[in-house]
Amino acid sequence: MTNRLDLRPLYLFVQVAEAGSFSKAAAILTVGQPALSREIKDLEQRYDVQLLHRNGRGVSLTDAGEQLLTHAKGLLRGLEQAEQELLTVRGTVSGHVAIGVPPLFGHVLNFSLVKTIRARHPKVALTFMEGFTTDFLEWLAKGAIDLAVMYNPPNISTLIAEHLHDDRLCLVGLPHSLKQRVGSELPCRALAGLPMVMAPRPHRLRVAADDAAKEAGITLNVVVGATGTATILDLVRGEVGFTILPESLIRADVKAKALAAWPLKEPVIAPRLFLVTSMQRPLTAATNAVIEAVRQRFGRKRG
């Protein structure tokens, strides 16, 4: 075996493995499918193993293919990181950063973060991936995302969790939709019978609201399930019902008197927001730049 390492076959193998078929990978790469198939066949002959199971529906990885995929992605990621660090030495922060955000949280963070990063580091590309805590844990472990913003992360030794913000859940509705004075605390038992528009389980905020209702001796009357803050708030504005959201998500609408909010008590529901990274993944200059922008968005200083 030659000592010369050619990364092109490994890159092509990763694309085929992630696409699940030669035809899809060929379309993405804009190369001919026969040439792509030959490259992978040569790679299999080079290592004298079968990397892919080929069938009419596409391809799947063999055990050897799974192992090579892990190493190949790590190698390619390391090369990308080296290139980013070299550019940083020249004074240019560049690269791609993937960020996990809760389904209801995007409009609070995403726009301001894009605006900040474009102004400071125009060569940094951002990808936002919405998901639940279980998704974030898997994506961080696999390296699919570089960081996540999440509520109440579990205590896992390989994760670094940095506190960003203490929030509080509120009942949200139209102004004058309740006799209760806007902004005053509302016991959770007062939610009994109110029509609610809520994110579906297993969203952690929905779980927290259900748990609080149970503690108060009631069951939430969820008439519509929806994901995405914009959709939920459109339904609230359309008088479909009320919802329960963190105060930080609806502060601007409440200030403009487009919506009203009543902080919940008995029990108080106070989710804590964290920025989470993995100790198993080195932080690039681009990732550090995004982390600093997230901290500043929530008024936090460098740790």
pLDDT digits (tens, 9 = 90+) for 97-134: 999 998 767 777 888 899 999 999 998 999 999 888 88
pLDDT-based confidence at residue 194 (cuts at 50, 70, 90): very high
Q: Is the dihedral of CA 200, 231, 168, 300 positive or negative?
A: positive
Q: Does a structural domain hold residue 87?
A: no
Q: Does a structural domain hold residue 83?
A: no
Would the pLDDT of 2 be above 50? no
Q: Give the pLDDT mean for 216-237.
A: 92
Q: Does a structural domain hold residue 244?
A: yes
Task: Return mean pLDDT, the chain.
Answer: 87
Q: Does a structural domain hold residue 80?
A: no
- Provide the CATH number for the domain around residue 140: 3.40.190.10
Q: Which domain holds residue 66?
A: 7-75
Same domain for 137 and 202? Answer: no
Is the model more confident about 205 or about 50? 50
Please give the structure tokens belonging to residue 270: 């106070």
Q: Give the pLDDT mean for 170-181.
A: 94
Read off the DSSP letter of residue 271.
-
Same domain for 254 and 181? Answer: yes
Query: pLDDT per residue over 131-159, tens digit each?
Result: 888 889 989 988 889 999 988 888 888 89
